[in-house]
Structures are given as C-alpha cells and as structure tokens.
Copies of this chain bind each other. A is one copy, B any other.
Amino acid sequence: MTEPLRIALIDDEELIRSGFAAIIGAEPDLEVCAQGADGVDALNIARSGRVDVLLMDVRMPRVDGIEATERITAELAERPKILVVTTFDNDDYVWQALRAGADGFLLKRTKIEDLLAAVRLVARTDAVLFPESIRRLAAATAKRSEAHPGIADLSEREREVLQLAAKGMSNTEIAERLYLGRETVKTHLSSVYTKLGVRDRTQAVIAAYDSGLV
C-alpha cells in the first residue's frame, strides 16, 4: 500500500483543529502532518513542500484563508491542493476562494464521510466536479476586474459621477441626484475623460464596464 496522504489543518480554533485531526488521524490512508492558526502559518507549511492537501479556514486573524490561498498559488509552483472550509456557504466566499485558486470548498457542517471523500478526491484528481476549467473561467472573469490603471486614480466624486453616467443618466439627472450643479458634473466627467484617456461619455461608460466598476 502507498504512503498516506499528508494533510495540513489551518484554523484559528484549537478545538476545530483537534476535531479534524482526530477524524483524519483515524483513517489509515490519511495523516495530519501539520497544523496552523492563520494564513501566515499556512504559507509556511505550504512552502515546506511536504503536504498533499491543505484544509483552510476562511476567517482567521492576521491573514485570512482567501488571501493565504492567493499567496500560495501565486508563489508556489508545486503547491498542495487547497480545500477552503467555512461555516456558511456565503456566495462571496465561494467565489473568492475560486478566484484565489482553491481546489474546493467545504462546509464545516459537512458529514464526516463526505469530508474524507472530498479530501481523497481532490488529492488524487483534478478532473472531477468542476475543477481546472472552472478555475480558469473564474480567473478570466477576475482578471477583467483587475489591473485597469485608469480607473484607480479617479477621485471619489469622479467615480461616483461615472457610475451614474454608466446607469444611463444625463448630466442634469446626475446633478440632481448628487445635489450638484450641472456644470460641476460636466467638470468631473471631463477629468474622468482625460484620466481614462477616452473621448466622450460613451467610451467612459465602456471603460467603466470593462474595468468592473459596473
């Protein structure tokens, strides 16, 4: 028989870790090789290179699970599989975990056998239950929302005005909505145009859409 899968547990709650450790340790083909209390620990453990699957909590002090996952996938070519574990299946968490490069998402209320099955499954294969392709998809849609330099250095007001313009409002409507003069709105939009390097309102709205501002 092959050597057991090496599992690392990352959770800020000692109790949770012990529980998981007990469950996993009872399995002959699984072994808890490391434990950590936050994202920094996770990164260090992942760097050690002797881990197959990392069970990662989301809410943790210092560096949370999502960011830790991000760093690990960004930094390590040979990284452990990462299963993000949390209490609630908040859509946002799932999405963020996906984008960060996690291999799976588990709920703490998951039944024991399912947890074990998921760990074994994710360790062995990447072709089951929405893996690689989905992650590429998520990464692609995520990339669209990053690295749009222009949008970043808009002032608060300018972003606000642009957002309303991107809802189809006219200058006068925007002015009324924001309790401003129509001329002021025009001024803001003008700086938006120059900052974004576009010609008119339509192109600005397009830029807003493409950069994920809308």
Contacts and interface: CB of A to CB of B under 8 A. Distances in A.
Interface of A: 89, 91, 94-95, 98, 104-107, 109-111, 113-114, 117-118, 120-122, 124-125, 127-134, 136-137, 165-168, 170, 198-203, 205-206, 209
Contacts of A200: 168, 170
Q: How many copies of this chain does one complex carry?
A: 2
A110 B125 contact: yes
Nearest to A92: B133
A199 B168 CA distance: 9
Given A125-B111, A128-B114, A209-B209, A133 B203 contact: no
A188 to B, nearest CB: 16
A136 to B, nearest CB: 7
Contacts of A125: 110-111, 114
5 contacts: A113-B124, A114-B121, A117-B117, A166-B206, A168-B198
Given A104-B128, A122-B129, A95 B202 contact: no
Given A118-B121, A205-B202, A127 B109 contact: yes
User: A121, A129, A198: which has the most chain B beta carbons within 10 Å?
Assistant: A129
Contact of A202 (B98, B124, B165): B165
B91 A104 contact: no
Given A117-B120, A118-B121, A129 B110 contact: no
